[in-house]
Amino acid sequence: MPIPASWSPPLLSLFRAVFGLVFLSHGVSKFFGLPPFPMPMTPLMTVAGGLELVGGALLVLGLFTRPVAFVLSGQMAVAYFMAHLPHGFLPLANGGEAAILYCFAFLYLAAAGGGSIALDTARVRAR
């Protein structure tokens, strides 16, 4: 049985919140060591962690979803090309599957918005 089309806006909100929460956990790991981050915190990792922490939190809330998702999509594209591609072309071989999935999930959110359950939606309705 197919999912009714009327479920699309709330499911988009769930998609946004779950991706935001998991992405936020990467920033929490880098800055607070929960769980411990296995790499040294270079200036590049600090910037990445800041984007993950702030961007992930904003996505969970559904606040500034489109611009935040666009920036995070770019971050994940850069992460793939800098950290994964040098280890081989195929994502399965170079460990870059998550970076590619995040990149395109965030690109989709940049185009689709935050869904019906988001602070962005509440702000528009309040106007």
**pLDDT tens-digit map of 36-66:** 988 889 999 999 999 999 999 999 999 999 9
Residue 63: other Cβ atoms inside 10 A: 15
Inter-residue contact 28 to 53 (CB < 8 Å): yes
Q: Which of 70, 55, 52, 59 is nearest to 118 (CA)?
A: 59
117 is in which domain, residue-wise?
5-126
Per-residue pLDDT band for 26 (boundaries 50, 70, 90) equals very high
Using pLDDT thresholds of 50, 70 and 90, give the confidence band for residue 127.
confident
Integer Cα distance of 126 and 49 in angstroms? 33
pLDDT of residue 8: 94
pLDDT of res. 66: 98
User: What is the average pLDDT across 71-95?
Assistant: 96
State the pTM of this model: 0.93
* Residue indicated by tokens 């919140």: 17
Structural domains in the chain (count): 1
